[in-house]
């Protein structure tokens, strides 16, 4: 049957079989681990997303079984579908690693380096990307692009200077509303997400633009400057909500619920969008049925100082010779008694 057809692909030498029409990025996600290209704009839950940021570039070293010629340029893995017999290089290609460094440099041209005061620090995809692929210094000598502050209500903070124009919030607004209420105005250096977001913020699900934003351009006003994310403890919880699934992550400090977000999967994407009542209005532990601590990536700063269990290795290693000598000494002492 046609739906049983699978294409054999290899990514960084690891084989995987996927359905025709699968993108290289999603094929890599089926393998998982380090070979998954980073994605700043693609979001599997948002139809039409991807193709904007170029962080997911990979090298196709063999096009397919039928036409083994390599692709002449690096391709965006979120937008390129696999072919049978395709061979792809990601972290094993120096060319890709170098290109990704350039993409990070480009994204950081206008992004302010205000991580010390940004609420997204610790869970910012650009921060992670900069850490993994960025250069130490900048070659950019001009003024950074800046915008006037726009007030979009009492729940969501828009900080346009930090926006990397990934369009995720645009697609989210499109998905949660029936009319077009949100988009990118102007182009090039003047491009900015439109003030029409003010219309989308009335929607019950508007808070989800905070969760999909990969940087600190859209943040939760009810959590703003309250704490650093690595001092909080994420816990999965749920409630009986008439509007959404009610499955969330609570970010607690002690017994205080500082922030509520949707649960995210291993690729940092929201599992299910949550409503604004759950996100902004349910800030007491009593509002929730607690489940278990949210799994945190071992390399994430959020997990810092949170030990699930503490099993220190024995500091003193047993010294067999010394033990024997002690036993002999004990025996001699016993005899003398």
Residues that bind ligand SF4 in the complex, under the rule CB under 6 A? 163-169, 193, 212-215, 217-218
Q: Is 326 helix (H, G, I), strand (E, B) or coil?
A: helix
| 215 contact, one of ligand FES, ligand SF4, none, CB 5-8 Å limit per kind | ligand SF4
**Distance from C-alpha of 155 to C-alpha of 224, rounded to nearest angstrom:** 10
**Distance from C-alpha of 220 to C-alpha of 227, rounded to nearest angstrom:** 12
Shortest approach of ligand SF4 to residue 145 CB, angstroms?
Answer: 13
C-beta closer to ligand FES: residue 188 or 308: 188
Residues 6+ apart with CB under 8 A from 14: 31, 35
Q: Are the C-beta atoms of residues 63 and 83 closer than 8 Å to each other?
A: yes
Binding site for ligand FES (CB under 6 A): 39-42, 50-56, 76, 78
Residues 6+ apart with CB under 8 A from 99: 57, 74
| 51 contact, one of ligand SF4, ligand FES, none, CB 5-8 Å limit per kind | ligand FES
Shortest approach of ligand FES to residue 281 CB, angstroms?
Answer: 33
Shortest approach of ligand FES to residue 55 CB, angstroms?
Answer: 5
DSSP-derived letter for residue 318 is P
| 200 contact, one of ligand SF4, ligand FES, none, CB 5-8 Å limit per kind | none
Shortest approach of ligand FES to residue 43 CB, angstroms?
Answer: 9
C-beta closer to ligand FES: residue 43 or 280: 43
The dihedral region occupied by 228, where left means phi > 0, alpha psi between -120 and 50, and beta the remainder, is: beta
| 60 contact, one of ligand SF4, ligand FES, none, CB 5-8 Å limit per kind | none
Q: Which helix (H) or strand (E) holds 185?
A: strand 184-185
Shortest approach of ligand FES to residue 242 CB, angstroms?
Answer: 35
C-beta closer to ligand SF4: residue 35 or 104: 104
| 163 contact, one of ligand SF4, ligand FES, none, CB 5-8 Å limit per kind | ligand SF4
| 29 contact, one of ligand SF4, ligand FES, none, CB 5-8 Å limit per kind | none
C-beta closer to ligand SF4: residue 173 or 235: 173
C-beta closer to ligand SF4: residue 129 or 218: 218
Q: What is each CA distance from 101 to 126, 128, 135, 150, 268, in whole angstroms?
A: 12, 12, 7, 32, 21
| 39 contact, one of ligand SF4, ligand FES, none, CB 5-8 Å limit per kind | ligand FES
Using a 10 angstrom Cβ sphere, with 0-12 exposed, 13-18 middle and 19 or more buried, the burial of residue 332 is exposed
Shortest approach of ligand SF4 to residue 216 CB, angstroms?
Answer: 8
| 7 contact, one of ligand SF4, ligand FES, none, CB 5-8 Å limit per kind | none
Shortest approach of ligand FES to residue 125 CB, angstroms?
Answer: 10
Shortest approach of ligand FES to residue 252 CB, angstroms?
Answer: 32
Residues 6+ apart with CB under 8 A from 170: 182, 183, 184, 193
Closest CA to 185 of 201, 167, 199: 167
- Which residue matches tokens 């278990």? 292
């Amino acid at each position: 049957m046609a739906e049983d057809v699978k294409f054999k692909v290899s990514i960084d030498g690891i084989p995987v079989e996927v359905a025709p029409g699968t993108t290289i990025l999603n094929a890599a996600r089926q393998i998982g681990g380090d070979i998954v290209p980073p994605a700043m704009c693609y979001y599997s839950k948002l139809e039409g997303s991807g193709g904007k940021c170029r962080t997911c570039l990979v090298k196709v070293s063999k096009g397919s079984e039928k036409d083994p010629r390599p692709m002449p340029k690096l391709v965006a893995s979120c937008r390129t579908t696999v072919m049978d017999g395709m061979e792809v290089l990601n972290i094993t290609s120096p060319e890709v690693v170098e290109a990704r460094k350039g993409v990070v440099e480009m994204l950081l041209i206008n992004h302010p380096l205000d991580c010390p005061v940004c609420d997204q620090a610790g869970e910012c995809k650009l921060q992670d990307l900069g850490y993994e692929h960025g250069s130490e210094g900048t070659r950019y000598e001009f003024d950074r692009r800046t915008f006037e502050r726009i007030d979009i209500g009492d729940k969501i903070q828009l900080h346009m200077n930090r926006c990397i124009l990934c369009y995720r919030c645009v697609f989210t607004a499109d998905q949660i509303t029936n009319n077009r209420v949100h988009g990118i105005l102007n182009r090039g250096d003047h491009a900015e997400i439109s003030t029409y977001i003010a219309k989308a913020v009335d929607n019950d699900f508007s808070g989800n633009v905070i969760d999909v934003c990969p940087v600190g351009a859209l943040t939760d006003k009810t959590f703003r400057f309250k704490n650093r994310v690595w001092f909080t403890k994420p816990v999965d919880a749920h409630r009986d909500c008439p509007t959404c699934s009610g499955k969330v992550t609570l970010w607690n400090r002690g017994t205080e619920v500082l922030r509520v977000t949707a649960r995210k999967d291993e690729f940092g994407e929201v599992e299910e969008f949550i409503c604004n009542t759950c996100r902004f209005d349910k800030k007491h532990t009593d509002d929730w049925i607690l489940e278990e601590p949210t799994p945190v990536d071992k390399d994430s700063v959020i997990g810092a100082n949170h030990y699930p269990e503490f099993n220190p290795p024995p500091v003193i290693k047993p010294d067999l010779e010394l033990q024997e000598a002690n036993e002999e000494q004990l025996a001699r002492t016993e005899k003398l008694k």
